[in-house]
Each structure stands twice: as C-alpha cells, then as structure tokens.
Amino acid sequence: MTWNYDALHKAPHTYFDAVDAKDVEAIVAHFAADATLTIQTANVTHTGKDEIRRMFTDFTEASVSIRHEMRNVVVEVDKGKVSTEQGYIGELKDGTKNDMHNCNFFDFNEAGEFQRVIIWMAGTSPLV
C-alpha cells in the first residue's frame, strides 16, 4: 500500500470519534491484529487487539463522558506516521474529572491500520 495524506489524516479523527462515542469495536477496528498501544507516561504497553479491546472496554465502562478536541495533526505520508495533539476532557464514574493535554503517535501498517500507537498524557492516565 502507498499511504495517502487524506487517509492518514482521517484515521486519528475517526479513532477519537469512536473513543468519544465509547464504541469499543469501532476503536479496535483501527488496529492491526498484532498492534501495540503504549501509554508512555504510565509505562504500560498493550499488545494485540484483545489487550487493546480490554483496556478500552475498561476505560469506556469507567467513564461518564469522554471528549477529545484535536488541536494539531502532523502527517508523514512517506513513513506512514501521524502525530496528534489533543485535549481530553472527561469524567470517570468515580467522580474524577480530567482536562488533559495529550499527544498520540500513530504508525500505520501497509493495510492502513494502526501498527503502533504511543500516547503521552499530561497528568495521571485514566487508561491502564
């Protein structure tokens, strides 16, 4: 596959839309079967769709509300990479309210799926 700008630029938007909608299957559909998702600031890596699904299931079930505000997107078409800067505003069922500044780094495989995602969060991660 030759990556194109539009597809790479769109993928993080549809991913965050799925996260905000708490649609775990739509979230996981973005990932390759053997993908890794690393929450760098929590020193945690989830490997494969099953682990990623479990993490997002736990997060969405623990959340009252989730909203991401995209601020910047950088696309490297020739390398199949996208970096995003976004705000995460959310409330957990335990009463915790988050208003965080985060960055994500997406590496795409040849099929256009997320092969590797690295998340940097300003503050304590609600993802585990």
Q: Look up the CATH number of domain 5-121.
A: 3.10.450.50
pTM for the whole thing? 0.92
Percent of the chain with pLDDT over 70: 94
What are 81's two structure tokens?
A: 């990479």
pLDDT of residue 126: 57
pLDDT of residue 41: 85
Scanning the structure block, which residue is given the tokens 């597809």?
7
Q: Which of 7, 45, 48, 24 is nearest to 125 (CA)?
A: 45
* 28: pLDDT strictly greater than 60: yes
pLDDT of residue 3: 87
Three-point CA angle 89, 60, 128, nearest 5° = 85
Amino acid at 109: N
Cα distance between residue 2 and residue 119, in whole Å: 25
Q: How many CB atoms sit inside 10 A of residue 92's CB?
A: 15
Instruction: List the domain boundaries for the chain.
Output: 5-121
